[in-house]
Every structure is written in C-alpha cells, then in structure tokens.
A and B are shown apart, each in its own frame.
Chain A
Amino acid sequence: MFLRKIALAGAMAITAGSAYAACEIPGNVSIVGNEFPAIHTVAKGAAECAGGEVKSNLTADHQKINVAGMQGNPAEYSTAIIANSSIVALMNEDVIRPLNDLVAEYGQDIPKSQLITIDGNIMAVAFMANAQTLAYRKDVLEEIGVDVPKTYEEVLEAAEKIRAAGISQYPVGGAYAAGWNLAEEFVNMYVGHGGEFFVPGTAEVAINNEQGVAALNMMKALTEYMNPDFLTHDSNATGAEMEAGNVILMNMWGSRMGNLMDAEGAEEQVYSNITVGAPLTVGGGSTPASTLWWDGWTVAKNISDEDAVATFLAMKHGTSPAILNDETMSQAVWMIEGYKPAPVNDGVFAAMSAGTRSYPMLPYQGLLHTALGDNLADFLLGKESAEQALADTEAAFTTAAKEKGFLK
C-alpha cells in the first residue's frame, strides 16, 4: 500500500514534470487581473512556463489599472484577464490585439466556442462562465410547504409565507448596494422583462419604458422583504446574511455559491441546506432575469511579437486541462476539457441551458451601468417615481455618452 502510494506520487511527479516541460515560451509575460481563487489558479498555471519571466498583478482594482497599463509602448501588462463587461474598455482604447494569427499558429486545439469573436476578429479566449441564479434554503421551503420558486413572483409569495410563519423577518437577499451591484440587478430584471437597453445599432438609450418600470417595481417589491440596509449590501454582505440564517432566498453569483455551501461561516443546519437553483424568470417571460458572464484573457497590442507569442502560450497553458485538480475543480465553471461540474455549479449550467442572455458587450454599456448605479436608489428609497429614476438615468447616460463621443 505504502509502496503503491510512493509509486503513484512518483508517476504524478513525472507527469507534472512533463507538464512543465510542455510549456516553453520565447518571451516575457505580465498578467493583470481580478483577485479570486480561479484567477489565481490561472496565473499559477501560466507561471509554470519556462523560458521567460511570468509576472502577475491580481487585484480587485484591476479595472482601474489595466487600460493605463496597456496604453504605453511597450505595455506594462502583456495580458489582461477580463470579463464580457470589461473587455469593452480595452477594445474602446484599442489596446488589445486580434488573436487570429496566434490562434492559427499555436491555438488550433482551443475549442471554437471559447474564442470571443467580434466582427471576425478573435479578441479574447474565455476560460470560465458565471451567472447569477437562485440560492435557497431547502429545509425552510419544505417547512412552509412551498416548491422551489421558478419566478420572482413565486419568490414574493414564498417570502410572505416565511415571514408569516415567523421564520425570518427579512427572508429575501440580493446584492442591492447602490452602484455597480444595484445596476447589475436592474440589468437582470430588465432583461427578464424582455427589455432592450438601446435603439439597436446606436448609443441612444431606451430604458424609460414599460419594461423598465416593471423591472423597478419588482425590485421594489423584493426590497420589502429585504433587510432595510439593502442599499449597502453587496454580494459579500448579502451572502453573510444567508450564512447567518436570516436570508432564505436570494439571487447570487455562481462563483460565490461555493462559499455559501462550505462549512465555514455558517451552522450545519444552514450550510447543509443551502441549495443552488436555476435562474428566475419574471413577469411571465421565458428569458431568465439574469445575465451570463465569461472570464477570459487577452493579449496586449503594444508588445513585441515574441512577448505576444509567449503570452499566448503561457495563458493557453494557464487555462489548459493541466490546471485542473481536486482543489481547483470547484473554483469555477471552467470551460476546460476534463472539467467535472459539482452541484455548486448547477445554477450556471441551468442558466446556460435556459437561454439566459449574456451581458451586452457594447462600447457604451459601461456608461449606462454607472448611470444606473447612481440613479436607481432614489426610487427604492421612495424619494421619486420609477419613471423619474429612469429619466434621470437616461439623462445622466446621455450626458456622459456625449462627453465620451458616443453621441453628438
């Protein structure tokens, strides 16, 4: 038995060794990206490459530094790990290069679906998927005799029953912190109502409509069942509320479900009963009130060809099956061959199969997101009407879009 273990360890060391050898790079690599376990795994995988230096700067503030860090010539960062919302800022400033030639020469084995293609140009390679879906307490729903909600309307009914049964005064959770989070929840709800953000093909915003008002009213109805501090609760805070046993139902990121379901930070009764469900629909629609997200890597424009090749090879290695092991397997919904989904990832897969729309990759979507985050809180606080909040958002966006040259 002991010998077998040693032999196994030896065999693993050899395969690991061959994995090191498999990645030879002809230049240097410098990575900038967000800071969470899956990204660390990718950066560590890329650092296995030999032949050049591989540096990484992983920080929650990556969006504030990646554009500036890639604008110089040569660029400070040879690759930025980004999502479908943040790739836009890099494309707007023209700091990342199309990868068609590199893919043709070195990346024939990358599945086509992973290639993020805009107008025929491959701009990024995706390696993981994410979406917000329902998280609920199985035991509490059984106790009040309610099926797992499929729509937000059913969430409201269940919430009323939970409150009436005296189980929790504020049973609904959500990342409603004013700013980016609140805007994201509106985006979800508006998409769920079938709304379109812009007049197609233009930067003319069009959210002050029936769907917009309906989305806001549903959000307001949900907040009646939320902790009164909801405008200060980001995903971390609302997750903590669920772990504390106060929140029974909430819309939560797939990438954060692992934290809710592990033994840390909650009692057994709570964490063993937290279950991941499908994304919710709203208002009788069939498109889930959620958005699909991917994380992927890019290659900077202003770097030498050697460094570009090195970056491509290192990042390809960092997102190859070689990085998957028992520890990394559950960190994300990996878009990597050999990935075996765990129950914690059910939601994201359900979101993908339910036809959830992906977060729009439009040059001016980021400006709208900022405007939404700044202007919707007044409605939820009861200071103004839904129409007024949406009109304010449109006005703020239009002004910003003029300053950025998207509108005349």
Chain B
Amino acid sequence: MTLCITCQRLGDREVKHKSFFWFVLPSALAMMLFIFFPIISVIVQSLHVEHEQVIRKVESCDLFGCKESTTIDQEATAALRAAEPLGQFAGFKTYLDRNHLATKEVGTTWKNTSSWRDFGAQMLNLPFYKAIGFTLTFTFVVTPLVIIVGFVIAVAVNSAVRQLRGPLIFFSLLPMMITPLVGALILFWMVDARGIIGATLQHLAGDPELSVKASTPLMWIMLMVYGVWHAAPFAFIVYYAGLQTVNKETLEAARVDGANRWLQIRHVVIPHLLPLTTFIALMQLMDNFRVFEPIVSFAANAHATSLSWAIYNDLGGETRQLSSAAATSVLTIIGVAILLSPVLVRTWRDFDRK
C-alpha cells in the first residue's frame, strides 16, 4: 500500500531504483566483504615485496654432522618488519619481472629473433606466456565445444520418449556431479598406456609406444576433452530448461509451413535460446580461463600450465611466494575482465538506452 502511494508521488523510474537499492544492499554488502576487500588486499600485496633479508653465515649441525650454512638474521630484520609489516613497496616491479609479464625479456627476444615462429617459441619459454598460451587455447576451444555438445544433448534428450528422459538426464549430468579432481583422475587412469582408452589409441594408431601422458599435443587434447566432458552437462541443463519454454505454436506454425526438423531448430529454437547461449558463454569463459583441476590430476604441468596453476605453484612450494601469487591473481582478474568486456559493454549500453 505504502509502496503504491510512493509510486504515484515519485514516478516509476525512481521507485525502481530505490527499491532496487534496498533489494541488492544485503548482497552488495556481502560482495564488498567477501569479494571486493579480498581483491583490494591482493592488489596491495602484489605491489609489495619482502624486506631485504640479512643473511648470516652460521654453522649448522644435524644428525649427519656440522657444516657451514646460512640463515636469516631475524634481529636485523625485526625492526624493518615491525615498521612496515607489508614489506617494501615495489610498485609494478613484480608484475613486470621475468616470472610475470617479463617486459625486459620480451623486449630482448623481440630484438634478437628474426621470425614470428622463433619469437613465439622463445616467448613460450617464459612462465607467464607459457601459462597464458595454454589458458587461452583451452578457453577458446572448450567454450564453443561445450555450447555445441550441451545443445545437441539437450535437443536429443528433449525428443526422447518421456519415460526415458529421467534416466537420460541423470546420466548426462553425471560428469558434473563427480568431483572435478576425481573425474579427472578417472580419465587420467583410462588414458594410461595400459588403460582402456590409452591401449585403444595405441591399437588404432598402430604404435605400441604411443603414450598420451608423454606427448605435449596429446596431453593438451586430453585436457580439453576433459574440459568439455566436465562442463557440457552445465550447458545441457540450461538448454534443456530453455527448450521447455519454446513456443509450441510457433513450432506448429513452422511445421505447417513445411519446415523440417533442422529448419525448426535453425529458425525457431536457436533464436529463442540465444540469451541462454550468451549466459553459458559468459560462465564458461570465466570458468575455463581459470582452468586448474585437470592440470593437477593429470600431473600435466610438464606439458601445460595455466594462470591458476601458477598461483597454486607459488603458494605450494616450501617457500611461499605471496607477492608473486598476488600479481598473477590480479593479472588473472584483468584477463577475465578483458575476455568478458565485449559482453559487459553491450549489457551496459542496453541498460543505458533504457
């Protein structure tokens, strides 16, 4: 009641914005707390490096005898640490160093290489570009395949006999239900030279020495196959839900006009599902850009690394490299933003026009 009185007084547009504000406030606060502030903290971390460590020569003794060694002089650095607990300010130094954007190394390589091929090979020797090379390939191969495969499964399940649909949906969703790490491990064992897929491949290729895990191109393909296998159910379930809302009358009209099955899909179903496709593409671009689990479970890091894997690797060593991991994290966020920018810009324009 009160709301409606307000509508009359303020006009539609303002009410929309005001109630919108109160609606989103709780989630906006949660986002500030759990997303925005952590990102700020990561950015701050990435701009700092650790204090200069004062190293002292000492004698260290263990079970196996004494020898000359070094250690950090804690007293000497204690005052520095207390004064600046974040470490020393480094600006963008970490972003530009060899383990990240490697601006200096890229410049030298550019000057010293004569062909694009050579330049590319040299670039892939730098950890960041090696990671981004695989990350982008994975993203742009897996995303469209997930959309296509998901759509095909959804159309197939939708046209199956009603009694069969339940079990079909269940089996189609299985890859998504399985924990990613476990799903990847299952595939990892299957492609082993003595596993069912690995042995079949050897047989088909006529090469008893063929091993998926030993070859970089095959490993890349296997990671992408896993990516599609794991994410296709997501696209499937979204499309399947969308298919239930296709206007039956429009389909009927198309059929009367003599459209065959393919033409119905092409001119009625696909245009109807286009907004869903945008949604799936957005989610998949983000997810695939952060590809991580398959690399760990396939033990593929000799052949393929990704930005997320690089962050994990920085934090998982005996000496944690927080600044390095923070810089890679920020670069990942920038990467996601660039990938999504075309869609985001369009959404913003649509909003503005209204």
User: CB within 8 Å of B: which residues of A?
Assistant: 63-64, 67, 84-86, 88-89, 91-92, 94, 113-120, 126, 129, 177-180, 200-203, 227-232, 234, 292, 294, 335, 352, 356, 358, 360-367, 369-370, 374, 377-378, 380-381, 384, 388, 392, 395-396, 398-400, 402-406, 408
Contacts and interface: CB of A to CB of B under 8 A. Distances in A.
Contacts of B58: 118-119
**Which residue, of B49, B51, B213, has the highest number of chain A Cβ atoms within 10 A?**
B213
Contacts of A404: 49-50, 53, 319, 321
A94 B299 CA distance: 33
Interface in B27-80: 49-53, 55-66, 68-72, 74, 78
Interface stretch (B91-99, B167-175, B247-255, B329-337): B91-99
Contact of A406 (B53, B211, B303): B53
A86 B319 CA distance: 8
Interface in B286-321: 298-303, 313, 315-321
B318 A396 contact: no
Contact of B94 (A120, A352, A367, A403): A403
A366 B314 CA distance: 11
B12 interface: no
B127 interface: yes
Given A94-B78, A117-B60, 4 more contacts: A118-B59, A228-B211, A362-B69, A366-B317
25 contacts: A91-B71, A92-B53, A117-B60, A118-B58, A119-B60, A201-B70, A202-B55, A202-B70, A229-B211, A231-B213, A231-B302, A231-B303, A360-B69, A361-B60, A361-B69, A367-B317, A367-B319, A374-B127, A381-B303, A396-B127, A399-B98, A403-B99, A404-B53, A404-B319, A405-B50
A366 B319 contact: yes
B318 A84 contact: no
B125 interface: yes
B80 to A, nearest CB: 10
B350 interface: no
A126 B63 CA distance: 7
A358 B62 contact: yes
Given A335-B63, A363-B53, A404-B49, A118 B71 contact: yes
Given A89-B319, A374-B127, A405-B52, A234 B98 contact: no
Nearest to B87: A405
Contact of A86 (B57, B68, B298, B318): B318
Contacts of A67: 320
B209 interface: yes
B98 A364 contact: no
Nearest to A375: B127
B99 to A, nearest CB: 5
Interface in B92-121: 94, 97-99
Contacts of A88: 318-319
B216 interface: yes
A403 B324 contact: yes
B263 to A, nearest CB: 48
**Which residue, of A228, A356, A364, A365, has the highest number of chain B Cβ atoms within 10 A?**
A228
Given A119-B71, A403-B97, A229 B60 contact: no
A292 B193 CA distance: 34
Given A374-B127, A403-B323, A292 B63 contact: yes
A364 B319 contact: yes
A108 B303 CA distance: 53
Contacts of A229: 192-193, 211, 213-214
B318 A361 contact: no
Contacts of A292: 63-64
Given A367-B317, A370-B319, A404-B53, A126 B69 contact: no
Given A229-B213, A366-B318, A381-B216, A116 B62 contact: yes
Nearest to B74: A94
A369 B94 contact: no
A63 B302 CA distance: 23
B99 A399 contact: yes
Interface string B218-242: 0000000000000000000000000
A172 to B, nearest CB: 15
Nearest to A124: B62
A230 B302 CA distance: 10
A402 B72 contact: no
A220 to B, nearest CB: 14
A86 to B, nearest CB: 6
B23 to A, nearest CB: 38
A406 B55 contact: yes
**Which residue, of B50, B209, B302, has the highest number of chain A Cβ atoms within 10 A?**
B302
A294 B62 CA distance: 8
B53 A64 contact: no
Contacts of B51: 405
Contacts of B53: 92, 363, 404-406
B259 to A, nearest CB: 51
Contacts of A335: 63
Contact of A381 (B50, B59, B98, B302): B302
A294 B61 CA distance: 12
Given A399-B98, A402-B49, A232 B317 contact: no
User: Which 10 pairs show the lowest CB-CB distances between chains A and B?
Assistant: A366-B318, A178-B302, A119-B58, A377-B302, A366-B319, A228-B214, A232-B299, A370-B317, A405-B50, A231-B302
A206 B308 CA distance: 30
Nearest to B75: A94
B49 A231 contact: no
Nearest to A94: B74
A396 B98 contact: yes
A212 B26 CA distance: 59
Given A294-B63, A361-B60, A404-B50, A232 B321 contact: no
A231 B214 contact: yes
B97 A399 contact: yes
A310 to B, nearest CB: 25
A352 B65 CA distance: 10
Contacts of A395: 98
A67 to B, nearest CB: 7
B59 A119 contact: yes
A273 B236 CA distance: 54
Nearest to A294: B63
B72 A92 contact: yes
A399 B57 CA distance: 23
Contacts of A356: 64
Contacts of A365: 318
A112 to B, nearest CB: 9
